[in-house]
Every structure is written in structure tokens, then in C-alpha cells.
Amino acid sequence: MRRIFTVMVLFACSAGQGGLLACGDKFFLVGRGDSFTRAYASLHPGSIVIYTGGPTATSKALGDGRLQKYFTRAGHRVTVARDSSALAQALDAGSVDLVLAGTTEALAMLPRIDSVASKPTVMSVDDGNPAAGTTRHLFKGTLKTTDKINGFLAKIEDAMKTRTSPARRS
């Protein structure tokens, strides 16, 4: 009798298997689960201009489309300036919160950016050049080419947070 009861219970469980999933088991089924395409969402989204017009390898790396895609997915509006005239047009077009450029290019554009009404934050991207270490104090933040994308996004988030803080507005 016990054997028949065990077989019946096993048969009933296997027949109604769809309704017996535990809390997280539904995520293991194919085609179900959560979408992780937007893993990082900025609390302080802003307008970012990426300058890729310099001759350095860092400028060329900033032109990579994946970087722009990550910034856009995080909630930022991204404009890519491929030369100095495109940079001037982007700065004059509207409110810019942040400008990303290689250290050499960022140094060259500081006087131009200081004259913009929106007073964007300039963040240089350091490629490991020892001479760039002496100029870090000129920028609000420095990114490194060796940083992972979450490191980039976290530092940009910090810069955007300081731009929107009440102390900065007054």
C-alpha cells in the first residue's frame, strides 16, 4: 500500500510540475527572468560631451561606440565632438554638464570651456602618461583608461552629484 501511495504522489507531482515552482525557479526557465541590459542607472543624469578630436590614442578610444552606449543606457544624453568646431557647436547649443577628453586635449580646451555659460565640469581621461599626473588638480575628476565601465559611470555620477548639490547652486 505504501508503495502505491508513493508512486501516485510522484506521478501527481510530475504531472503538475508547472505550478510547483519555487520562488526563484521561474528565472531559470528559458525566455523568462529579468533583463539586465540596464544594470547601471544614474541618479543624476546629465548632458555629456565626449571630445574625440585629438591625436592621442585616448581620444580615439573615447570615440568607441560602446562607451556612448553605456552612458546612454545609464540615462545620460551624449554628444560626440569629433573636432574643435563640433566641440564649440556642442558647447554653444545648450546646457552641457560634463566634458570628457584626453588629458592633453582637456588642457587645451580649458580656457574655451571656462567661458561657456553652463560651466561644464571637465573630466580628463588619463592614459598613464606621467606628465598628466601633474595636471590632475586642474580638473574636477580624472578617469583612467584602465578603469572598468562601472568605474567610469561611478566617477561621472559623483561629478554629476556635485553639480546638482545645493551648495553648488548657491
Please tell me the predicted confidence (pLDDT) of residue 142: 75
Q: Cell numbers 581621461 label which residue?
A: 125
Please tell me the predicted confidence (pLDDT) of residue 20: 52
Helix or strand (DSSP H, E) at 65: helix 65-74
CA distance 45 to 141: 17
Confidence of residue 135 (pLDDT cuts 50, 70, 90): low
CA distance 110 to 74: 26
- Report the Cα–Cα distance between both ends of the chain, in Å, rounded: 83
pLDDT tens figures, 2-40 = 777 777 776 666 655 555 555 655 555 555 555 554 456
Mean pLDDT across the stretch 72-98? Answer: 89
Please tell me the predicted confidence (pLDDT) of residue 136: 63
How far out from the chain centre does Cα 36 lie? 15
**Looking at domain 47-165, what is its CATH homologous superfamily?**
Response regulator (3.40.50.2300)
